[in-house]
């Protein structure tokens, strides 16, 4: 009896102090066995180039992602896949240096994902799924700043994936609609397929399929806004983090982004039908037979549309109406913007008084005197600074407006932030805290950029990571030493700068003035 009791006690102790299951670099998933590699200290198992759907080539071009067939032999998943078809970049495209950009090969055979998983864990780990940015026309998993090893060392599983871009992800056409009953949104159907794959398989990597957080930046954040509204994503994930959230990005959907991010299917069909005729693609067969790079070149020359369509399935209605009807996903959100979202634009640091007049005339035609009087410059130098202030006020308003939309629909917590700190970059200081500059801090990858980082940067990085990992694990960003309050109307927003603390509130009259911008 004593020996049995002792054995039971030792068993319980072992369960509490040793791993429940060590993750090997060989994993059995639903379609077969895969083998990855370890990082240098063998604390993280890394799997790159795991297929999550069939290659969307030939007759599968412009079809929803198709389920994979099973394989018998071990599939070696040790190198990044090609990026989806896009214009290749070599080197830098300032302010984005090569670490922010896809530098590798491209292919239509691109529906793959990467996983970084801690080797040892005492319990199922929370999962982060990263949706890359790139304006829906560029980006991939194979980008230095997106590497997941440093985040995985925080006791989470990090997943990134490719999705179809440009004409391959956005095409809607009458012939496609006739074939399938609807067309368009292939980008977003890919995203859903990847998230569903993770939901189905992540337990094999030590992950908790019931604790999944989406993390998206720029186009990835725009995607999350759409995914949250779609009825196809119910119960697929539990929380979301949106960096450069819709309405604050250089891809301008206006300050009321849920009104402008989607279009009627018939309108988009007409745009692409006219585009196809212009380039002499007169049948669906000719479109599917066209070389991918030829289609890319023609789409780059004349871009008829980028975005989502109301197709009756992915989006049964506008995002605005789906929020109003309280049918959006009821999840907690962390969202934010950077101080100089449009710092990459040429006019950002050279705008004149007359050009500021033109901007206000264009976007505030019914309110231009009030707006111009408030941002009134006396010289061109003041015009540049006041233009920046106007853009920042618009971004702040849009972020708050979208949070209020979510709160009124779901009543869930929303945690908002602004990153004011610019990456230290003496050679290019005029870019400021440019679009995407929060990524090294949020993804814990300061070591992937050769910059003169300071103690302040390290502090911001650590603060971001602490807040984010707490949020990913529990839905609550705070620990006993912090107090990031959920946002309420014109309420708390956390600023990351020389000092990390509450952002100054914008006067209610300024928000009212900004709200009358014509989209």
Rounded-to-integer distance, Cα 225 and Cα 216, Å: 10
Tell me the C-alpha to C-alpha distance, in Å, between residue 419 and each of 149, 337, 416.
Answer: 23, 6, 10
Q: Quick one: pLDDT band at residue 516, thresholds 50, 70, 90? A: confident
Please give the pLDDT value at position 506: 85
User: Is-contact 2 18, C-beta < 8 A?
Assistant: no
Q: Which two tokens stand for residue 356?
A: 């500021």
Please give the pLDDT value at position 346: 79
- Is the predicted pLDDT of residue 14 greater than 80, yes or no? no
- Is the predicted pLDDT of residue 246 greater than 50, yes or no? yes
Tell me the C-alpha to C-alpha distance, in Å, between residue 308 and each of 218, 251, 261, 276, 315.
Answer: 15, 14, 7, 19, 8
- Is the predicted pLDDT of residue 515 greater than 50, yes or no? yes
67-81, 193-207, 235-249, 462-476: which range is least confident on average? 235-249
- Is the predicted pLDDT of residue 1 greater than 60, yes or no? no
The pLDDT of 234-249, averaged and rounded, is 85
Rounded-to-integer distance, Cα 184 and Cα 466, Å: 39
Rounded-to-integer distance, Cα 52 and Cα 203, Å: 16
- Is the predicted pLDDT of residue 53 greater than 70, yes or no? yes
Please give the pLDDT value at position 4: 40
Please give the pLDDT value at position 23: 66
In angstroms, how far is CA 258 from the centroid of its own chain?
16
User: Is-contact 269 183, C-beta < 8 A?
Assistant: yes
Nearest to 115 by CA among 220, 30, 39: 39
Across the chain, what does the average pLDDT equal?
Answer: 89
- Is the predicted pLDDT of residue 10 greater than 60, yes or no? no
Share of the chain above pLDDT 70, in %: 92
Please give the pLDDT value at position 344: 83
Let me know if 132 is exposed, middle or buried by CB neighbors in 10 A (0-12, 13-18, 19+): buried
User: Is-contact 190 164, C-beta < 8 A?
Assistant: yes
The pLDDT of 134-151, averaged and rounded, is 95
Any idea how long the chain is?
A: 519
Between 88 and 3, the higher pLDDT residue? 88
The pLDDT of 19-31, averaged and rounded, is 74
Q: Which two tokens stand for residue 369?
A: 């005197």
Residues in Cβ contact with 272 at an 8 Å cutoff, skipping those fewer than 6 apart: 171, 172, 173, 304, 305
For the beta carbon of residue 518, count every other beta carbon within 10 angstroms. Answer: 11
Please give the pLDDT value at position 325: 83
17-21, 44-48, 79-83, 339-343: which range is least confident on average? 17-21
What pTM was estimated for this model as a whole? 0.92
Q: What is the DSSP code string of 243-299? A: ES-TTSSSS---SSGGGTSEEEHHHHHHHHHHHHHHTT--SHHHHHHS-HHHHHHHH
Tell me the C-alpha to C-alpha distance, in Å, between residue 298 and each of 124, 173, 268, 499.
Answer: 47, 16, 17, 48
SS3 assignment, position 225: helix
**pLDDT tens digits, one per residue of 66-119:** 999 999 999 999 999 999 999 988 888 889 889 988 999 999 999 999 999 999
Q: Quick one: pLDDT band at residue 27, thresholds 50, 70, 90? A: very high
Please give the pLDDT value at position 7: 40
In angstroms, how far is CA 104 from the centroid of its own chain?
20
Vertex 251, ends 218 and 269: CA angle to 5°?
105
Q: Quick one: pLDDT band at residue 5, thresholds 50, 70, 90? A: very low
Please give the pLDDT value at position 430: 83
């Amino acid at each position: 009896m004593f020996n049995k009791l002792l054995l039971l006690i030792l068993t319980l102790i072992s369960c509490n102090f040793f791993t429940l299951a060590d993750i090997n670099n060989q994993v059995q998933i639903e379609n077969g066995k895969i083998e990855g590699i370890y990082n240098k200290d063998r604390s993280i198992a890394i799997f790159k180039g795991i297929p999550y759907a069939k290659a969307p080539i030939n007759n599968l071009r412009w079809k929803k992602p198709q389920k994979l067939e099973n394989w018998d032999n071990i599939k070696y998943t040790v190198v990044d896949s090609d990026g989806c078809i896009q214009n290749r970049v070599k080197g830098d495209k300032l302010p984005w240096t090569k670490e922010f950009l896809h530098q590798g090969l491209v292919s239509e055979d691109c529906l793959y994902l990467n996983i970084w998983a801690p080797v040892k864990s005492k319990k199922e780990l929370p999962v982060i799924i990263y949706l890359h940015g790139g304006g829906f026309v560029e980006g991939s998993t194979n980008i230095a700043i997106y590497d997941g090893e440093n985040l995985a060392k925080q006791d989470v599983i990090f997943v990134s994936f490719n999705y179809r871009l440009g004409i391959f992800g956005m095409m809607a056409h009458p012939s496609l609609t006739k074939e399938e009953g609807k067309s368009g949104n292939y980008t977003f159907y890919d995203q859903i397929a990847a998230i569903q794959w993770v939901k189905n398989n992540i337990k094999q990597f030590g992950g908790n399929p019931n604790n999944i957080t989406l993390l998206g930046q720029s186009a990835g954040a725009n995607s999350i806004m759409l995914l949250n509204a779609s009825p196809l994503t119910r119960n697929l994930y539990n929380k979301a983090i949106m960096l450069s959230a819709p309405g604050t990005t250089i891809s301008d959907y206006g300050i009321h982004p849920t009104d402008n991010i989607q279009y009627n299917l018939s309108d988009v069909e007409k745009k692409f039908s006219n585009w196809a005729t212009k380039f002499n693609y007169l049948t669906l067969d000719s479109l599917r037979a066209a070389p991918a790079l030829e289609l890319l070149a023609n789409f780059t020359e004349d871009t008829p549309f980028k975005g989502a369509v109301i197709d009756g399935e992915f989006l049964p209605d506008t995002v605005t109406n789906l929020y109003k009807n309280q049918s959006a996903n009821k999840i907690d959100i962390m969202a934010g913007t950077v101080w100089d979202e449009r710092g990459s634009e040429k006019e950002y640091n050279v705008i004149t008084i007359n050009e500021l007049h033109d901007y206000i005339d264009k976007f505030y035609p019914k309110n231009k005197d009030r707006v111009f009087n408030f941002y009134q410059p006396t010289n061109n130098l003041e015009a540049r600074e006041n233009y920046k202030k106007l853009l920042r006020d618009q971004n702040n308003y849009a972020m708050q407006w979208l949070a209020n939309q979510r709160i009124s629909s779901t009543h869930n917590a929303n945690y908002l932030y602004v990153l004011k700190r610019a990456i230290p970059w003496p050679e290019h200081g005029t870019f400021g805290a440019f679009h995407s500059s929060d990524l090294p801090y949020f993804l814990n990858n300061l070591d992937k950029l050769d910059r003169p980082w300071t103690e302040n940067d390290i502090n911001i990085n650590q603060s971001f990571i602490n807040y984010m990992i707490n949020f990913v694990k529990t839905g609550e960003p705070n620990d006993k030493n912090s107090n990031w309050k959920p946002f309420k109307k014109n309420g708390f927003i956390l600023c990351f700068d020389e000092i990390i603390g509450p952002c100054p509130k914008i006067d209610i009259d300024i928000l009212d003035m900004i709200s009358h911008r014509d989209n």
